Structure 1
Amino acid sequence: MADRTVAPKVHALVEGSRRVVDSDWFGMAVFGVIMANAAVLGVETYSGAVDRWHTELKMLEHAFLAVFTAEILLRAAAHADRPRDFLRDPWNLFDIAVVALAFLPIARENATVLRLLRLARVLRAARFLPQVRIVISAIGKSLPGMLSFVLVGTLLLYVYAMVGWVFFADDDPEHYGSIGRAVLTLFLLITLDGLGDAVRAGLEISRWTIVYFGSFVLFGSFVLVNLLIGVVINSLEEARQMETATDHRPSSLEPTGPGEEILRDRIETARRALQELETALDAQTVHRSARRRYAPAHEVDRDHAGLP
């Protein structure tokens, strides 16, 4: 009886919270608070403003924290019937971490940590900007591909740095005097910054240095960069497809209504009754088989005839 009373109350809480969370004004209000939090952070960079409005800024910080805490509680209440779905969303986990850490003593006592946490709240604005959310998701998905890109780039830099050290260490020790300096020089050349000066300095040593710089620019500035762009674009397309699939979830994933728990109980009761009926029928069949085996012939004929 108590479960049947609690289930409608939980459903009412879930439905009420869901209506608030899914409303347009809720998202706009939270986004406005996030932007206000960012503006206050900018104001605090001016020492004169902090000295003049210290109390007001402190009150605003407490107000922002209260609003963000209430927002997370509302989102959690909207998923009270599906807590796993709430915890499966990485944005919810990020919001919980950013807000919960602000309540820890180490964060409250350390001004630097507290400012970093308040700055992290600004990143929550991406939750309300679908295009930004897609880009962030694409960056996360491109990390495995970027690892291969980094390995190839490191190998390319190391090989060309060793070649540069062999040929230019004596004539240009400032840029190629060690493997570290050579790697740094070539890393800057990938951006094509200072390429003209490097080529002119190399031509003073040998005309064949044009092959060295030309091949490095070809592989480093064009092949590698295009490879990175391809990885990011592919991840961006995957993130866009996932975002579209999330926005068009099938309605079967939604809760069925206030009588969902009661309906489940009734289905379970009907299933148990069906199992008991099948057991009884099996027992009756075994009993009749035993009677036919040991009963006289005239009783067997009566059983076949369907007589009692």
Structure 2
Amino acid sequence: MRERVHDVLESRGFQRFIITLILVNAATLGLETSPRIVASYGPLLTVIDHVALYIFVAELLVKVYAYRWEFLRDPWNLFDTAVVGVSLLPSTGSLSVLRALRVLRALRLISVVPSLRKVVTALLTAVPGMSSIVVLLTLVLYVAAVMSTKLYGTTAPQYFGDLPTSLFTLFQMMTGDAWSDITREVMDHHPTAWVFFVGFMLVCTFVVLNLFIAVVVSAMEEEHTEAAVHASEDAGAAVLKELADLRAELRELRDRLSGPEDR
């Protein structure tokens, strides 16, 4: 019985049903943000939301029955449990803010779709490599903030009046938001300021941020390589099993044919 339930959970049809339910539930949660739609179809949206939640809970319970202790060893099962568990928390009175967390159920799409799982796994794998880049970026920001505060704090105090303000301004410039306007305003009093700001933008935007992309791409390539290796190993194991079964059938056939000759 448990094996049949396991096969149903892993079947493509069931996975498609869950994906469809997640999309429908996410759509209903989005429609609830419109007062006009809530006034017309509020009860229907609530029923759909509750039905989806009950199905998600039932799915998790069935998975616990089918997988037993293996359920806890899969991080994606724990992720699904946390997302669904948030929706079960009381959302009345002072906890009404928790109703907004119901939309987290849409994140279950990550654990259901294999391609999304691979992307998220690759991003998590890249976190250790990103930590070194974050330290480098923080160091560059700090040095540039101290320099800009000392150089341009008097000229543009709204941007570089103190260290926290300079850090925020430089972070804003690093994202590409109005960096040229800030630079031109400072250049009205310091014509050579473009050297500092262009150098900062080149280092942060075109070097450090590209390092982030390089680390993520490298992690995704490693994840793809590992998946290909596992797939080839599984295919090889399947071929070996078929060869073993074929040899067993040939041996059995040989024994049957040699039996009458001996008699």
**How many angstroms apart in 1 are the aligned matches of 2:79 and 2:229?**
21
Task: Report the equivalent of 1:239.
Answer: 223
Q: Are 1:45 and 2:33 counterparts?
A: yes
Task: Report the equivalent of 1:97.
Answer: 82
Q: Are 1:153 and 2:142 counterparts?
A: no
**How many angstroms apart in 1 are the aligned matches of 2:75 and 2:37?**
36
Worse-matched range after superposition: 51-60 or 37-46: 51-60
Structure 2 letter corresponding to 1:140? L
**How many angstroms apart in 2 are the aligned matches of 1:129 and 1:223?**
33
- Offset at residue 208 of structure 1 (A): 3.5
- Offset at residue 163 of structure 1 (A): 0.9
Task: Report the equivalent of 1:57.
Answer: 45
Structure 2 letter corresponding to 1:218? L
- Offset at residue 180 of structure 1 (A): 1.7
CA displacement 1:1-34 (0-9 Å, x = unmatched)? xxxxxxxxxxxx2211122112111001111111
Task: Report the equivalent of 1:33.
Answer: 21
Worse-matched range after superposition: 173-182 or 210-219: 210-219
**How many angstroms apart in 1 are the aligned matches of 2:7 and 2:109?**
21
- Offset at residue 56 of structure 1 (A): 2.4
Q: Are 1:227 and 2:211 counterparts?
A: yes
Worse-matched range after superposition: 212-221 or 24-33: 212-221
Task: Report the equivalent of 1:78.
Answer: 66
CA displacement 1:210-269 (0-9 Å, x = unmatched)? 3312321221111111211112112222333454566677598xxxxxxxxxxxxxxxxx
Structure 2 letter corresponding to 1:52? S
Task: Report the equivalent of 2:259.
Answer: none
Residues 27, 108 of structure 1: alpha-carbon distance in 2 compared, 3 angstrom cutoff: farther
- Offset at residue 164 of structure 1 (A): 1.0
**Conserved 8 A contact 1:126-1:132:** yes
Partner residue of 1:88 out of 69, 73, 78:
73
TM-score (norm: length of structure 1): 0.68
- Offset at residue 206 of structure 1 (A): 3.6
**How many angstroms apart in 2 are the aligned matches of 1:108 and 1:101?**
14
Percent identity over the alignment is 33
Residues 166, 127 of structure 1: alpha-carbon distance in 2 compared, 3 angstrom cutoff: same
Residues 212, 101 of structure 1: alpha-carbon distance in 2 compared, 3 angstrom cutoff: closer
Task: Name the SS of the counterpart of 2:126 in structure 1.
Answer: helix
- Once the two structures are superposed, the pairs formed by residues 1-308 of structure 1 within 5 Å of their partners are 13-80=1-68, 83=69, 85-104=70-89, 106-107=90-91, 110-116=95-101, 118-244=102-228, 250=234
Alignment length (residue pairs): 235
Task: Name the SS of the counterpart of 1:200 in structure 2.
Answer: helix
CA displacement 1:34-70 (0-9 Å, x = unmatched)? 1110111012112233233333233222211221122
CA displacement 1:151-203 (0-9 Å, x = unmatched)? 21111111111111111112222211111221222112223443433443344
**How many angstroms apart in 1 are the aligned matches of 2:56 and 2:27?**
16
Structure 2 letter corresponding to 1:74? V
Give RMSD over aligned pairs.
2.5
**Conserved 8 A contact 1:158-1:183:** yes
- Offset at residue 130 of structure 1 (A): 2.4
Task: Name the SS of the counterpart of 2:188 in structure 1.
Answer: helix
**Conserved 8 A contact 1:41-1:119:** yes
Task: Name the SS of the counterpart of 2:88 in structure 1.
Answer: coil
**How many angstroms apart in 1 are the aligned matches of 2:37 and 2:47?**
14
Higher relative contact order (CA 8 A, sep 6+): 1
**How many angstroms apart in 1 are the aligned matches of 2:131 and 2:125?**
11
Structure 2 letter corresponding to 1:97? A
**How many angstroms apart in 2 are the aligned matches of 1:71 and 1:173?**
58
- Radius of gyration: which is bigger? 1
**Conserved 8 A contact 1:44-1:50:** yes
Structure 1 letter corresponding to 2:85? A
Structure 1 letter corresponding to 2:122? A
**Conserved 8 A contact 2:83-2:108:** no
Task: Report the equivalent of 2:246.
Answer: none
Task: Name the SS of the counterpart of 1:53 in structure 2.
Answer: helix
Structure 1 letter corresponding to 2:82? A
